[in-house]
Structure 1
Amino acid sequence: MSLACVPACGRVFQSRAALGIHRAACPHLAAPDPSFANLAAWLAEKRSRKQRHQDDVPAPIAVESTSGDVQDSLWLAETDCERVLTAELQIVTPSDPVEDTPPPAAQPTGRGARKKRPTWKILEQLPQPTLSLADLSDVPDPSGLSDQNVTRAVMAPIVPSTFAPFKNISQWRLMNWMWQGSHMKSLEELNRLVDEVICAPDFRKEDFVGFDARRETAKLDVALSGDPMVPSPVSDGWREVDVRIEVPDGKTHRQAADPPIPTFDVPGLHYCSLVEVLKSAWMGVKGGRFHLLPFKEFWSREGLRTQRVYGELYMSDAFNAAHEQLQAKPQELGCELERVICALMFWSDSTHLASFGNASLWPIYLFFGNQSKYSRGKPSTSSCEHVAYIPKLPDAFHDYFKSISGTSPTADVLTHCRREIMHAHGIILKGEDGVTRRVYPRIFTYSADYPEKILLATVRNLGTCPCPRCKIPKSKICELGMKRDDARCTNDARNDNPRDFIYIDGKGVKSTAVKGLLATESLVPTKNAFSEKLSSFSFNLFSMLVVDLMHEFELGVWKVVFTHLIRILYAHGGDAIQMLNERFRLVATFGHGTIRRFSNNASAMKKLAARDFEDLLQCSLPVFEGLLAEPYDKHVQELLFALAEWHAGAKLRIHTEQTLEDLQSATTHLGARLRHFVKYTCPSFDTKELPREEAARVRRQQKRQANTNMVGNRTPGGRKRKLFNLSTYKCHALGDYPRQIRVFRTSDSYSTQTGEMEHKSVKSWYARTNKNNATRQITLLQRHKQAMIQHSKDVPSHGKPPRRRGGVAVDGADPLPYTPPDVHHHISHSRNSPLYVLHWLSSNAEDPALTDFLPKLQDHLLERLEDPDVVTEGQQFSEDQRARLIIPNDRIFAHKTMHVNYTTYDVRREQDTINPQTHTDIMMLQIDPEENAHAFTYARVLGIFHADILHNVLGTLPAVKRMEFLYVRWFRFLPVDDPGAFTFVNPDDVIRGIHLIPGFAHGQSVVTDNAVFARGDVEKEWNYHYVNFFVDRDMYMRYKGGGIGHHPVRTAENDPDDRREAVIDEDDAASELQSDGYAVARDATEDIEEEEEDEEEEVSEEEVGEDENEDEKMDEEPDEEAMAGYAAL
């Protein structure tokens, strides 16, 4: 190998060593290179140019507006809003007008500015103020709200030294009592009047000389109206306007000689200025709790991979992307303020205001995604902002339409005009000045049920493509969970051109010309306010229409499955329905309203809300077990488990990468089980209408005949056949949950349940009105309450603490005082229920449950005294050792309840109440050293006690010590005479309470012993119990594993064969639905359009509001198009 020196030298060597020796003395190699003679000068010039470029920042080119408000809106949307907002906050009174400065001349900018990329840092703690355990506790504190319960306001803050418009603080206190609290002034409200008003130290009766409540309320109304002639410490942004909509009259309006397009003014739109809402939120106490900078949260545990955590909206990918886009834009000239995102989350849902009559309201609510969902979702924090009340189409519209067209409006025209009302005003997007709100607001989510989703997205109800987020055809919905179904979910395209066919060419709303352009994507010919106002900013309105677990699953897929299971039990015959109802009534309650008593027949489904259907699902597995013959019983059990597993995963309040992968797997499994149910179970039963469905159908037919003046048509009798429909939007939406959670975080952040809870406020205000122009009065009452809340921040509280008693009530439920979240458990110190052990045992000598009660108690206490940190079981002590343990007067004290605090999977603090009479069952860690032992052990609490004990130890002075203990019966299938059946447990070892459901299918055994203390006076005992780990999300994660707040324990390994029959290959899934049963079902389906109207009539008024017909066809019989899809598969 030849190695050459530099070209100027020309010498060649055969080894590296020889070349190195030569180079050390080569004069050509050491000679200077002329090409680098000016290197130092070149580097200096480069540094000088860079410095000049940094110092000479070019000014942006200002363009004079030529289109009025539109250009102003565009300019404001692209300009830094923090400077404007800060200026507004600092200026109290209007300043003199300032002449506009001429725009600067455009200057050459030279090289383009470099893109500044975001800088990410790894922190060991969350970038937020330090939280206490009280902030993380979901247990209500009776002594008052924690500091996280911030209030909202729709007005600027008042001056602390004034109570305007009231004369003094005494009048303010009385008016505050009037306009806050319950609208039904009960005994509790009377107590509040005495405690917070009359007994206040600054309350004086002299302040009420000449007082008149009507006059003071009128003053408040004037102050809230923002009258410039009346100086007021509060201001309000509510307005009332008319909405002008275009009406399709079927006539041509293209030529100049043609009459103009007719319009109709819908009165009564009440809206609040979005500018005022945002300003008051950022100025108020709540703004101090906002998260302004996004971040990404990760979690790692020894032995596991580091995983991304999905929880709050402000740590979502959507929030991070919006923040990065904002920071990438050039900053406004001369402004160095920080730029932040204000996340807007909207809710809307029509609701009935009274149990009787047709009074209704269509509110739009606003929440801020910068606020933690744990405080935002609590009504007590007043985090909800009321921004609008949308009017309904008045009855006068019928007369108007007839006057311009000569005919009455059809149902299609009325539906079209209702869509027009929704989109005629962009009120939820703009403030008072008609521009997008400063502080860079961004719309992230809009939560609504399906009827309102299709209004917002301008998608046809139950069209060929029913989803408001993607174009999936109805015939493909049955492929839920498949990979091709997941890939098919893309954004919709928007088309506004066909409106010309309606208004200009006079075509009908459902004419062939219009439907030909829109039917392929199920769009409707309505101008969309979101698209018109925000399309220029690359805003995708379809992405904001997030999933809704309450309507889509609990009141959707699960309700439909449960209803069809009831039909199957009716078709099965026998006493299956009676057994189902009886079993549900035997299910015990759990928690603080987690599982409620099933008092009525579950099969009747009368007046059930979403929470009731959730309870039915969580308790359904043991209840349905054994009601059908095999193999159908197994099919139903697997379907119910898949539904419960998916529901638990989709409703988690915090996700990791692993739990999201599990949710995706559960979605695939659920889709397979639903298709399996459709093929193998449904065709085997001749399912027909339920009695309530038949009655509802007959009522609709009679009403339809009365409206159309039909004569001679009698209502057909007999129950019609009912089929299970898998091709619904609600079923399709289940596949969107993993994707939506990754983008917007967990489903509880944007569930419509939050908006449903806010309906309680407007309903309570409606009860205070005189029912004449109720919407107007509701806005006044809402302003009254918010004014009082805003004033309350500056008024010291002089109210008495809540009335409560400590200790245990012997003759009632245990009113334990508030249990702080930092303690593990709480047992009362009451000594009102003493139990003299020797006398009590002698009185119950024949009860085997109390055999060796005292020796067992002594052994348990001695074991804990010797080594409190060691948990063992069954250790026995000698009689001498027991004699050293003294229980003064042989007296222990019994208690009704015990509170147990525990850390949840999402690192919150929750509390269970253990009561030997009601909630009796507990779980503890298994201390069995066996490798395959179950992770937990279970017991039934028979008694809660504490005792004062003395332990005589040689060389020490005995002192009285309080010790707490539980007397339990183990769930180990041991007879009552077994020594290990009953024992004592340290309350510190209790993890939390559990929900047990009897194994109804495995029967009961007759009680042959006399263990009254353990069983009471029951004559039979269930042979088996099921541990309901679907009872809540924390329990589910304890058994599944992977909870961030849980200590890792052994969990059951998944059997790979468990889902062997359920997991269906995608290539074979199509043939899964090709069955003779569905071919027969298709032939037997008659009058499908009429039969599809059954379900929503039974939904409570709380859920569907005034336009319940909008969603009534969704979840029942499959239509011809869906059946064609099945046949094609």
Structure 2
Amino acid sequence: PPSSPSSLSSPSSPSSASSSSSTNELGMYRIFAVRPKRDPDEQDRTLESYCDPAAFDVPPLSDTTHTRPGHAPPRVNAPARPPYAPFPNYTTFDMLYWQNNGSNTKSDQQINILATKVMQEPEFEVEHLARFDAARELKRLDDYIEVEDDSPLSVDDGWCQGNVQVRVPKEGVHYASEEDAPLFTMTNVWHRKFCEVIRGALKQACVRDWHMIPHQLFCTAADVPQRHLDSRSPSPSPSTASARFGTSSATSSSNSSSSSSSMSFSDESDEEDIRIYSEIFNTEAALEEDAAMRSKPRIPGDPEDLEYCVTLICLYSDSTRLTSFGTASLWPIYMYFGNQSKYVRGRPTAYAAHHMAYIPSLPDRIQDFYTDHYNDSATAAVLKFLRRELMQQILLLLLDDSFMYIYVHGDVVVCGDGITRRHFPRFVLYTADYVEKILLACLKYLAKCPCPRCKINKDKIIEMGTRADDYRRNHVRVDNNDVMWRIKLARQWIFEKGMPLTSMYIDRILGPLSLTPTRSAFSVKLREHGFNFYTLFAPDFMHEVELGVWKFAFTHHMRILHAAGADQIQTFNKRFRQVPTFGRSTIRKFSKNVSNQGKLAAQDYEDRLQCFMPVIEGLMKSRADNRIVLDNTFDLAMVLTLGKLRMHTSKTIDGLGEAASSVGTSTREYAKKVCPNYVTVELPKELAARGRRKARRAKVSAAGVSVPTVCKRTYFNHCTYKFHALRDYATTIKALGPLDNSSAQIGEQEHIHSQGDYDRTNKVNYIPQVARRNHRGEKMRTIKQRVDAAREARKKKDSDAAAMEPGAEPPQPRPGPDKNLDDEVNGKLPYTTASQRYHIAKSQRSHDNILDWMSCGDDPALTNFHMNLKDHLLTRLQARGIFMPTDEHDETQIGEHAFEDRARLVIHKETAYWHEVLRLNYTSYDLRRNQDSVTPKNHGDIMLLADTDSEGSDGHTHPYAYARVIRIFHVNVRLYDSPMQEFERMDVAFVRWFRVDHSAPGGFKRKRLHRLEFVSPGSDELAFGFVNPADVIRSSHIIPAFAFGRTDTSVFPDLSECLARGRLPPSTSTSTTPVSHLILWS
């Protein structure tokens, strides 16, 4: 075992009882506090399980995350019931499953599924539908519960109705105690029991891919030789058990002046292996909860081999609109499990979210109740107090006695992987937007201390990233006796002394910490067990960066461009419309005026940030303003890039902390030196919004109102909670893993299912109907797994039986849609296997004779085309060992190879076969298999490893080479006097090369993007050339440097456009070649 101190209280330090996994081919290994009975990473996993489903033909999640045919764990004493139970036959199940899944509006694709995957099943019989009644069958499903303990349908995890009560105070009304105040009862609160839902989830077969024992993930240092597992000694990191977010990530970093310099990614120590953070189950929060659980005595009577584990619970809540028009809405609470991989948890098709409750709004009848008791209307302060109380009472309804029992004593469950465990549920994360986060934390909105994690004052937020700011962040919020005393005293004054909720005396005791006179449900139930509920509220990257800091900065940039005049805003919009797209919706077309903003999603603001620097450059009034804006944008882009990483090491975490500090420095400089130079007013959109708000307020008060027509003066405001949260991301990653674990995006994607369930209701009293349909969907998916397993077993049995008969042909599969048809038939590339490096179509329909091109004369693109192509092919054959060059090579000859060697290489019919798309399969940094698509028409920019680092006059090097693909083709070749006697296909990309412009170097230190330019024909470097598709790393996004102007394409036609048409124009020869300056974002 690792030679580290033995300490259960410090999960970062492996104890003497810890165990290590084997080291994989990438040098990664895991350290566990106890050896798990089953390690999912040690099991056989196919390459498809690491693939992006948008790019590869991978099985659906229902096949990979639930029961897989032939892989389901055996159930003990399983009864001989049909797999389609409780339905009477396969036909009934297939019809109901089709109706309750897929699109709510049945499209052509849904009809195809009905015709091919439902009606053509061997078990489908029309006679079974003679007396079919959907309502009766769904009622049968609702009532169905199995009696076996190991069945996921054995638990009563359905929805139930509950009541919650809140005490209603009144200013000036005294009670002997709070218990004497009138109770307002909320009925029909739809919710589910935590213990039953958790028990049912653990019985699902997808648990075989869960990590029930948290671990530390390490990678061996690159310069450290491979060592024996017993001698491995990773450097222990400090424990954060006292407060997950209590220590700033850079308390030892320099002050703001030094942190604003370059981004430093220093190398790891040679003596240390590298700690990796990727999932919740390999972070500090999970390790702390596991260590705290193991530090307590085992339950008496438990066998020694009974595995103890923690179930990591992640909650999410947010209201969502159910219709585009009207007032229908839903406020759900979702539960996720941190033991499950985020790559599954974050996909809506995985159905990883468990709906726990639908929070009702405070009803209008509260005013009737208040008037009946106090003969007066409730004030706004009272209604706000009751809303806070209602939220906490609903959480108390979920944290019932049954849950608290398993929280303390655990619950023995036969899990879906066949292993019996005693699990202890533990809360590690509650994701919500800022408004709801403050509601859950029982804090005042935008008050003196706006952060739910620390006690920083609002007026000090402006110093984000300084040493003083790092020191203040160490004053974390703790649910201690002082907080309890303040809340208790305030409630006594409210109920027993009749003080108004807005009293200055109450504010004096609650105001210093921005508390409210409401106690958190987590505090009521879990404080006695050592739980600090403030650690639940991790920052939300999506709302705080893309929809927060960057959105505010972008909006003020637009105000400045409007103030600058001279059609700057129109130039800005025009430039954005010319930004090329990239990837599969990674960067989409900016077709509308970007400055108008509109109702944009987080991804839209992310796209704007990634493309903003070349667009805004040169539009400010002065070079100094331009420099500051570009510096600030680069810093924000670095926070976005590092914060979006799905796998982190200590280097990237430190880099994110430094990037956040740089944002603080550059933002203060922007506010001090740029903003005062412009008289900024409301944007037209903001003026219209202010008018609508004023009209709504006037409508409520029944007073007349005049629509505002004059724009108000506006100022740049960065003293916000979202600006403050930038510095917490590095610490959050160590506690909870990469920020996609705590992003609200996962929960918002689950709203799609809630909205789909609503669409299937009759829209009247819809919440009970949504709840029932949600539970039916869970049951139907469980039954679907059994039906698929039974059908797969039947097919295998029939195939084996047919193979045993002498002379019998194997059964032919039923005809169905074939996604892998050749492009000659359906005009589309078939799916590729993830193991392929790249993929080009097999078609030879489009072709040209290469020698015909020589008639184009002295066109620079085709100069020595045939000779250079053969040189390229011979070089590749030489690397494969097939071709050996002639010993005597005349140095006076043109080209890389001798004339005799080129004569040996024969291109079949001297023909090139053209293709439109090159697909590049690659492994991303987080060990996922992804794909890029390169097309000469619109996505033709690629990057390769440079043969030698291109060094500029200033000594700076660049490790990559860049090119623009003009055409993709293949040739069939053979080589005389070699083992290659048959024609063999060789794929080629014809490219035009870029070179790095070292006169304007980029990078972290200069806070600029690297600038590229086309290589000019006739220069010392090759302007055109050939590339082996297997050598291409990825496609790249190259944006025009608008500030430097565009070349005159009317004088020199674009060669790529000419070749894309299949023929070059009669004459495109030039004595000089235009250079288009470009900027790279990679």
Decide: shared fold, TM above 0.5: yes
Match of residue 607, structure 1, among 599, 613, 632: 599
Change (3 A) 1:331 1:875: farther
| Structure-2 separation of matches of 1:413 and 1:510 | 9
Cross-structure match for 2:867: 855
Q: Deviations over 1:710-738 (max 9, x none)?
A: 35x64554111111112111111111111
Aligned-partner Cα distance in 1 for 2:300–2:1056:
81
Deviates more, 1:392-401 or 1:296-305: 296-305
1:546/1:513 Cα in 2 relative to 1: closer, same or farther (>3 Å)? Answer: same
Does the alignment pair 1:552 with 2:544?
Answer: yes
Task: For 1:408 and 1:800, locate their aligned partners in 2 and report how far apart those are by CA, in whole Å.
Answer: 70
SS of the counterpart of 2:787? coil
CA distance in 2: counterparts of 1:869 and 1:363, whole angstroms: 64
Cα distance in 1 between the residues matched to 2:373 and 2:79? 52
Deviation at 1:171, TM superposition (A): 0.8
Deviation at 1:271, TM superposition (A): 1.1
In the alignment, is residue 1009 of structure 1 matched against residue 1025 of structure 2?
Answer: no
Q: Which one-letter code corresponds to 1:626 in the other structure? A: G
Question: After the TM superposition, which residues 983-998 of structure 1 pair with which residues of structure 2 at under 5 Å, given as runs?
Answer: 983-998=1025-1040
Q: What letter corresponds to residue 416 of structure 1 in structure 2?
A: F
| Equivalent residue letter for 1:876 | E
Question: 2:310 matched to 1:341?
Answer: yes
Aligned to 2:843: 830
Cα deviation digits, residues 353-409 of structure 1 (max 9, x gap)? 111111111111111111111222112222111111111112222222233233332
Whole-Å separation in 2 of the counterparts to 1:958 and 1:366:
63
Aligned to 2:747: 755
1:800 and 1:240 mapped to 2: Cα distance?
Answer: 48
Residue 655 of structure 1 pairs with residue 674 of structure 2: no
Give the drift of 1:436.
4.4
Give the aligned partner of residue 87 of structure 1. Answer: none
Contact 1:429 1:436 in 2 (8 A): no
5 Å-filtered alignment, 1:151-230, equals 151=66, 161-223=82-144
Closer, same or farther in 2 for the Cα pair 1:232/1:554, shift >3 Å?
closer
Distance 2:824 2:614 in 1: 35
Contact 2:1015–2:1075 (CA under 8 A) maintained in structure 1: no
Question: Are 1:644 and 2:637 matched, yes or no?
Answer: yes
> Who is 1:133 aligned against?
47
Distance 2:1075 2:589 in 1: 19
Q: 2-side partners of 1:757 and 1:369: how far apart? A: 17
Instruction: Describe the SS at the equivalent of 1:322.
Output: helix
**Equivalent residues of 2:757, 2:773 under 8 A apart:** yes
Provide closer, same or farther for how the CA distance between residues 232 and 822 of structure 1 changes in structure 2, counting only shifts above 3 A. Answer: closer
> Which residue is equivalent to 1:598?
590
Which of 274, 285, 301 is residue 194 of structure 2 equivalent to? Answer: 274
Question: How far does residue 690 in structure 1 lie from its aligned partner after superposition?
Answer: 0.6
Report the Cα distance in structure 2 between the residues aligned to 1:744 and 1:590, rounded to whole angstroms: 31
Distance 1:380 1:186 in 2: 18
1:791-940 pair list within 5 angstroms: 791-796=783-788, 802-808=817-823, 815-839=828-852, 842=855, 847-868=859-880, 875-928=895-948, 932-940=956-964
CA displacement, residues 499-540 of structure 1 (integer Å, 9 cap, x when unaligned): 222233322222223222211111111121111111101111
Query: Structure 1 residue 980: deviation in Å?
Result: 2.2
Judge conservation of contact 1:926–1:933 (CA < 8 Å) in 2.
no
Q: How far off is 1:660 after superposition?
A: 1.4
Change over 3 Å in CA distance of 1:159–1:142 after alignment to 2: farther
Match of 1:150 among 65, 70, 77: 65
Equivalent residues in 2 for 1:669-708 (5 A)?
669-708=662-701
User: Is the contact between residue 944 and residue 966 of structure 1 (CA under 8 Å) also seen in structure 2?
Assistant: yes
- Opposite residue 421 of structure 1, the aligned amino acid is L
Q: Deviations 1:245-304 (Å, cap 9, x if unpaired)?
A: 222233534238x99312222234211221221112211112111212222122233345
Please give the secondary structure, in 1, of the residue aligned with 2:189.
Answer: strand
Deviations 1:732-780 (A, max 9, x none): 1111111111111111111111001111111111111111111111112
Aligned to 2:810: none
8 Å contact from structure 2 (residues 1016, 1074) kept in 1 = no
* Superposition CA RMSD, Å: 3.1
Give the residue type in structure 1 aligned to 2:829: L
Pick which of 379-388 and 460-469 moved more.
Answer: 379-388
Tell me what 1:968 maps to: 991
Matches within 5 A, 1:284-433: 284-303=204-223, 304-305=268-269, 306-336=273-303, 337-425=306-394, 426-430=396-400
Distance (Å, rounded) in 2 between the aligned partners of 1:147 and 1:179: 15
Distance 2:116 2:732 in 1: 48
Match of 2:185 among 265, 280, 286: 265
C-alpha separation in 2, matches of 1:321 and 1:361: 35
Counterpart CA distance in 2 for 1:353 and 1:235 is 28
Structure index of larger Rg: 1
- The separation in 2 between residues aligned to 1:724 and 1:152, in whole angstroms, is 54
The answer on whether the counterparts of 2:51 and 2:58 sit within 8 Å (CA) in structure 1 is no
Aligned-partner Cα distance in 2 for 1:116–1:566? 56
Task: Give the Å deviation of 1:591.
Answer: 1.0
- Contact 1:846–1:1010 at 8 Å: present in 2 too? no
What CA deviation, in whole Å up to 9, does each residue of 1:1109-1129 have, x standing for no partner?
A: xxxxxxxxxxxxxxxxxxxxx
Is this contact kept in 2: 1:804–1:817, CA < 8 A? yes
The DSSP-based 3-state class of the residue aligned with 1:696 is: helix
Match of 1:942 among 957, 962, 966: 966
Q: 1:728 to 1:225 in 2, by over 3 A?
A: farther
Mark the CA change 1:984 to 1:546 in structure 2 (over 3 Å): closer, same or farther: same
Residue 716 (structure 2) aligns with? 724
CA gap of 1:324–1:408, structure 2 versus 1, over 3 A, is same
- Measured after TM superposition, the shift of residue 456 of structure 1 is 0.7
Instruction: Please tell me whether the aligned partners of residues 135 and 148 of structure 1 are also in contact (alpha carbons under 8 angstroms).
Output: no
Q: Equivalents in 2 of 1:869, 1:642: separation in Å?
A: 48
Residue 1068 of structure 1 corresponds to which residue in structure 2? none
Compared CA separation, residues 268 and 856, structure 1 to 2 (3 A): farther
Partner of 1:942, secondary structure, is strand
Identity %: 36
Unaligned 5+ residue runs, structure 1?
Answer: 1-114, 1030-1129
Q: Distance in 2 between matches of 1:357 and 1:270?
A: 22
* Residue deviations 1:870-919 (CA, integer Å, cap 9, x gap): 999x9533443323222222222211111111122222222101111121
Deviates most, 238-247 or 547-556: 238-247
Whether 2:165 is the aligned partner of 1:244: answer yes
* Residue number in structure 2 paired with 1:463: 447
Q: The residue matched to 1:649 in structure 2 has which SS?
A: helix
Separation in 2, partners of 1:719, 1:774: 43
Asked if the contact 1:249/1:262 (under 8 Å) is kept, the reply is no
Query: How many Å apart are 1:830 and its aligned residue?
Result: 1.8
Write out per-residue CA displacement over residues 678-713 of structure 1, whole angstroms, 9 at most, x where no aligned residue: 1111111111111111111122122222322335x6
What secondary structure does 2:751 align onto? Answer: helix
Alignment CA distance shift 1:169-1:235 (3 Å) = farther
For structure 2, the 5+ residue unaligned runs are 1-13, 24-28, 31-38, 69-74, 224-267, 411-422, 793-813, 886-893, 996-1013
Query: Paired residues, what number?
Result: 905
Contact 2:438–2:445 (Cα < 8 Å) also in 1:
yes
Query: 1:443 is matched by which residue type in structure 2?
Result: F
TM-score, normalised by the number of residues in structure 2? 0.79
Structure 2: distance between partners of 1:818 and 1:775: 42
Is the contact between residue 808 and residue 896 of structure 1 (CA under 8 Å) also seen in structure 2? no
- Counterpart amino acid of 1:834? H
SS in 1 for 2:986: strand
- What amino acid does structure 1 have at the position aligned with 2:462? C
**Match of residue 560 from structure 2:** 568
